[in-house]
Amino acid sequence: MKANIEDKRKAVMDAALKLFTERGFQGTSTAQISKEAGVATGTLFHYFPTKEDLINNLYFEVKGGLSRAMVKDLESQVSFKDRLKKIWDNLVRWGLDNHDEFLFVGQFCNSPYISNFTREEVMKEYVFLHTLVEEGLKEGHIKELPSELVMAMFYQNSRIVVEVISGYDSSKDENKLIDDGFEIIWNGLTRN
**HEC per residue, 99-160:** HHHHHHHHHHCCCCCCCHHHHHHHHHCCHHHHHHHHHHHHCCCECCCCHHHHHHHHHHHHHH
Q: Model-level pTM?
A: 0.88
- The pLDDT of residue 1: 46
Residue 174 CA: distances (Å) to CA of 2, 80, 121, 162, 166: 41, 23, 33, 10, 9
Averaged over 153-180, what is the pLDDT? 86
Count of beta carbons in the 10 Å neighbourhood of residue 103 = 18
Q: Per-residue pLDDT tens for 97-108?
A: 999 999 999 888
Q: Domain ranges for the chain, please list them.
A: 1-49, 50-189
* Angle between helices 147-167 and 127-138 in degrees, nearest 10: 110
Check whether 91 has a pLDDT greater than 90.
yes
- The pLDDT of residue 168: 72
- The pLDDT of residue 169: 64
Residue 140 CA: distances (Å) to CA of 102, 133, 143, 178, 190: 31, 10, 7, 25, 8
Averaged over 118-131, what is the pLDDT? 90
Q: Per-residue pLDDT tens for 19-38?
A: 999 999 999 999 999 999 99
CATH T-level fold of 50-189: Tetracycline Repressor; domain 2 (1.10.357)
Check whether 153 has a pLDDT greater than 70.
yes
Distance CA 31, CA 39 (A): 10
Helix (H, G, I), strand (E, B) or coil at 86: helix
Contact 57, 117 (CB under 8 A): no
**CATH architecture for the domain at 1-49:** Orthogonal Bundle (1.10)
Averaged over 62-90, what is the pLDDT? 93
